[in-house]
């Protein structure tokens, strides 16, 4: 697990292409995020003009001077080798999904399966975008899917463009980590 | 003076003798008159934490209080009444007085704020019914109404906004003869249930128990429902493991009223699982929050995000 002592505390934002990972990191990072975007060559998967092929990077500095690193992964499965590099040792993972996408539930399964083994704490938060649009699945469907797999994780309807909503996800992740630490200390 | 009967089970011979001796010492000093009895006639059970789980389980299901005797402070169980052996007279006296007070308050516990709970209790019963329930209506504030039918809640936008913000109080439901007006909007019944609980009275909901432990099996969608900061802490603690209501408030660093409202909301919205004290004792935990660099760092991060959000 990333630790305070080794100077590495990272939170990973992941999810399929077009879910809002780059936007979410930009919404909460205190510095202009480093992005590795190129023209989107997979217009079937998503019609957006550009997409991340390497990583997004942002930062939050606490009053103590300690730093939280925010990493965004590429969304396309062909860059999966980057998922392992970025996810390994993360303090927690935030999966962003588009609730209007066909197969969003399967996408959630894929990203949860890919990242949870890399995150020792198992701290997971799901951010669900575009839930108010026609045809969108509600958060209950995603929570029930996780529950059927024995995973109790928050699933929040959010707008990744709103920093308030992205802070809600990060803050919830911090609360989960704190509660886990309390429970482990009590065990 | 109230007369109470207590039975000890599973204690070592030394502990049992010490208990009976001290019971004579506290005689006349306690707020109640304490007598020993067998288990069938006892009001209170004094039982060693590691003995006779079957008897303890049967006892707790009866709703009567049990005092758990432990030998090691490090394994302090999350139970309301715990006594460490070797006993101290004043500790025993204090504990017995607490139990006497608990029993007295429970016997006089009535829905003291029955009107304040009317909407929540009524909604809970309505949600528990299956099949075609027809349409029901309740006051939501002085001049507005909330309808429940077709598995959803229906109300004017201002009414739903008032329920979300806690500015209107829901009354008891009754069968409706009229459908909601065309201007009414539909809203998930679970969302309304959450808001009613989250803005309800500060006391523990009448259908919840102070000596039961609760855990959320599914998080509320705070993105949709709206979240004030302490609700996230409470949900995180309550999803990590089961807590007694008082313990949950302590863990999350909030007031008992906040914890009670959270539990009421989660319960009404169908997100809560309850455990008996015996079930919790299968995984006894200490009650001291963790300290260390990791926890401090995460707490710093949480506070930082609270400030900048």
pLDDT digits (tens, 9 = 90+) for A97-129: 999 998 999 999 999 999 999 998 899 999 999
- Give residues 91 to 150 of A whose Cβ lies within 8 Å of B: 127-128, 131, 139-140, 143-144, 147
Is the backbone of residue B235 left (phi > 0), alpha (psi -120 to 50) or beta?
A: alpha
What's the confidence (pLDDT) of residue B55? 67
Say if A161 is an interface residue toward chain B (CB within 8 Å): no
Nearest C-alpha neighbor of B292 from the set A30, A186, A102: A186
What's the confidence (pLDDT) of residue A78? 80
Distinct helix (H) and strand (E) counts, chain A? 5, 7
DSSP run (H or E) holding A108: helix A104-115
In this structure, which long-range contacts are made by residues B143-148, counting pairs with CB atoms below 8 Å and at least 24 apart in sequence? B144/B168, B145/B180, B146/B170, B146/B192, B147/B176, B147/B179, B147/B180, B147/B184, B148/B123, B148/B173, B148/B189
Give the span between the Cα atoms of B234 and B212, in whole angstroms: 16
**Higher pLDDT, residue A34 or B242:** B242
| pLDDT, tens digit (0-9, with 9 covering 90-100), for B109-127 | 444 556 789 999 999 988 8
Give the DSSP letter of residue B31.
S
Q: Coil, strand, or helix at residue B75? A: helix
CB B26 within 8 A of CB B18: no
Q: Do A178 and B218 touch (CB under 8 A)?
A: no
pLDDT band at B67 (very low <50, low <70, confident <90, very high): confident
Computed over every residue of chain B, the mean pLDDT equals 84
What's the confidence (pLDDT) of residue B287? 44
Strand partners, B48: B69
**Higher pLDDT, residue B290 or B132:** B132
Mean pLDDT confidence for A158-173: 92
pLDDT above 60 (res A159) = yes
Mean pLDDT confidence for B203-229: 92
What's the confidence (pLDDT) of residue B280? 64
Chain B's closest residue to A155, CA to CA, is B221
HSE (CB half, 13 Å, CA atoms) of B14?
A: 4
User: ipTM of the predicted structure?
Assistant: 0.87
Two structure tokens written together for B233: 């802490």
Give the DSSP letter of residue B133.
-
Q: Which of B222, B292, B293 sits opposite A156 (nearest CB)?
A: B222
Give the span between the Cα atoms of B269 and B213, in whole angstroms: 17
Two structure tokens written together for B35: 């007598």
Mean pLDDT confidence for A66-71: 92
CB A75 within 8 A of CB A18: yes
What's the confidence (pLDDT) of residue B201? 93
Q: Which of A47-51, B17-21, B143-147, B295-299 has the lowest mean pLDDT?
A: A47-51
Give the span between the Cα atoms of B298 and A152, in whole angstroms: 20
pLDDT band at B131 (very low <50, low <70, confident <90, very high): low
Q: Do B285 and A147 touch (CB under 8 A)?
A: no
Q: Which of B295, B296, B306 sits opposite A171 (nearest CB)?
A: B306
Give the span between the Cα atoms of A124 and B267, in whole angstroms: 23
What's the confidence (pLDDT) of residue A186? 65
Computed over every residue of chain A, the mean pLDDT equals 86
CB A76 within 8 A of CB A42: yes
Mean pLDDT confidence for A171-185: 87
pLDDT band at B297 (very low <50, low <70, confident <90, very high): confident
**Higher pLDDT, residue B95 or B184:** B184
What's the confidence (pLDDT) of residue B63? 66
Q: Do B309 and A9 touch (CB under 8 A)?
A: no
| Contacts of residue B110, Cβ cutoff 8 Å, sequence gap at least 6 | none
Mean pLDDT confidence for A54-73: 88
pLDDT above 60 (res B262) = yes
**The sheet that has B185-188: what strands, in order across it?**
B174-175, B136-139, B145-149, B152-155, B185-188
pLDDT band at B225 (very low <50, low <70, confident <90, very high): very high
CB B8 within 8 A of CB B22: no
**Higher pLDDT, residue B132 or B99:** B99
Nearest C-alpha neighbor of B29 from the set B92, B99, B74, B78: B92
What's the confidence (pLDDT) of residue A43? 58
pLDDT above 80 (res B53) = no
What's the confidence (pLDDT) of residue A143? 95
Q: Which of B84-88, B235-239, B286-290 has the lowest mean pLDDT?
A: B286-290
Q: What is the dihedral of CA A172, A177, A181, A186, to 10 degrees?
A: 50
Say if A154 is an interface residue toward chain B (CB within 8 Å): yes
CB B104 within 8 A of CB B2: yes
What's the confidence (pLDDT) of residue A38? 64
Question: Which pairing describes strands B185-188 and A124-129: parallel, antiparallel, or unpaired?
Answer: unpaired
| pLDDT, tens digit (0-9, with 9 covering 90-100), for B82-94 | 788 888 888 888 8
Mean pLDDT confidence for B171-198: 93
pLDDT above 50 (res B286) = no
Nearest C-alpha neighbor of B26 from the set B100, B78, B76: B100
Two structure tokens written together for B305: 């995000």
The total number of residues written for chain B in this structure? 309
Chain A's closest residue to B239, CA to CA, is A152
Nearest C-alpha neighbor of B262 from the set B239, B290, B296: B239
Alpha helices in chain B (DSSP H): 13-26, 53-61, 89-107, 114-128, 157-165, 189-198, 222-225, 229-240, 245-252, 256-268, 277-281, 293-308
pLDDT above 80 (res B223) = yes
What's the confidence (pLDDT) of residue B87? 87
What's the confidence (pLDDT) of residue B130? 65
Test mutation, A68, A94, A143, A186, chain B, max B CBs within 10 A: A186
| pLDDT, tens digit (0-9, with 9 covering 90-100), for A42-55 | 656 666 666 665 67
| pLDDT, tens digit (0-9, with 9 covering 90-100), for A124-153 | 999 999 999 999 999 999 999 999 999 999
Give the span between the Cα atoms of A92 and A71, in whole angstroms: 11
């Amino acid at each position: 697990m990333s630790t305070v002592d080794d100077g590495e505390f990272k939170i990973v934002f992941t999810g399929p292409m077009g879910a809002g990972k780059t936007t979410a990191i930009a919404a909460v990072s205190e510095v202009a995020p480093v992005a590795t975007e190129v023209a989107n060559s997979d217009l079937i998967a998503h019609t957006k003009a550009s997409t991340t092929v390497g990583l997004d990077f942002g930062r939050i500095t606490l009053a103590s001077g300690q730093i939280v690193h925010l990493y965004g992964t590429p969304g396309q499965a062909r860059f999966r080798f980057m998922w392992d590099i970025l996810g390994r040792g993360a303090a927690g993972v935030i999966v962003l999904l588009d609730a209007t996408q066909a197969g969003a539930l399967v996408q959630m399964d894929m990203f949860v399966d890919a990242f949870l083994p890399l995150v020792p704490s198992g701290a997971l938060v799901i951010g669900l975008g575009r839930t108010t649009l026609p045809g969108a699945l509600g958060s209950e469907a995603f929570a029930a899917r996780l529950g059927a797999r024995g995973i109790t994780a928050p699933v929040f309807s959010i707008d990744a463009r709103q920093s308030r909503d992205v802070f809600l996800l990060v803050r919830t992740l911090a609360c989960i980590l704190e509660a886990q630490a309390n429970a482990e200390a009590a065990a | 003076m109230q007369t109470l009967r207590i039975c000890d089970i599973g204690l070592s011979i030394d502990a049992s003798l010490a208990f009976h001796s001290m019971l004579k010492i506290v005689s006349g000093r306690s707020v109640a008159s304490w007598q020993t009895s067998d288990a069938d006639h006892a009001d209170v059970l004094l039982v060693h934490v590691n003995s006779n789980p079957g008897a303890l389980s049967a006892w707790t299901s009866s709703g009567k209080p049990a005092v758990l005797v432990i030998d090691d402070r490090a394994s302090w169980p999350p139970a309301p009444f715990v006594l460490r052996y070797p006993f101290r007279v004043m500790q025993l006296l204090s504990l017995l007085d607490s139990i006497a007070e608990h029993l007295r308050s429970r016997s006089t516990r009535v829905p003291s704020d029955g009107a304040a709970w009317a909407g929540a209790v009524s909604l809970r019963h309505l949600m528990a019914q299956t099949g075609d329930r027809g349409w029901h209506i309740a006051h939501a504030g002085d001049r507005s109404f909330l309808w429940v039918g077709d598995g959803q809640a229906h109300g004017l936008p201002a009414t739903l906004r008032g329920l979300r913000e806690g500015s209107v109080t829901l009354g008891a439901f009754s069968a409706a003869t009229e459908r909601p007006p065309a201007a009414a909007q539909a809203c998930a019944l679970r969302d309304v249930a959450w808001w009613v609980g989250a803005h309800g009275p500060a006391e523990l909901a009448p259908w919840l128990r102070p000596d039961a432990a609760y855990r959320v099996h599914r998080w509320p969608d705070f993105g949709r429902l709206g979240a004030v900061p302490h609700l996230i802490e409470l949900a995180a603690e309550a999803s990590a493991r089961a807590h007694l209501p008082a313990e949950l408030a302590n863990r999350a660093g909030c007031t008992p009223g906040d914890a009670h409202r959270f539990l009421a909301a989660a319960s009404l919205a169908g997100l809560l699982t309850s455990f008996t004290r015996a079930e919790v004792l299968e995984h006894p935990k200490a009650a001291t929050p963790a300290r260390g660099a990791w926890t401090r760092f995460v707490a710093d991060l949480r506070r930082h995000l609270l400030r900048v959000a």
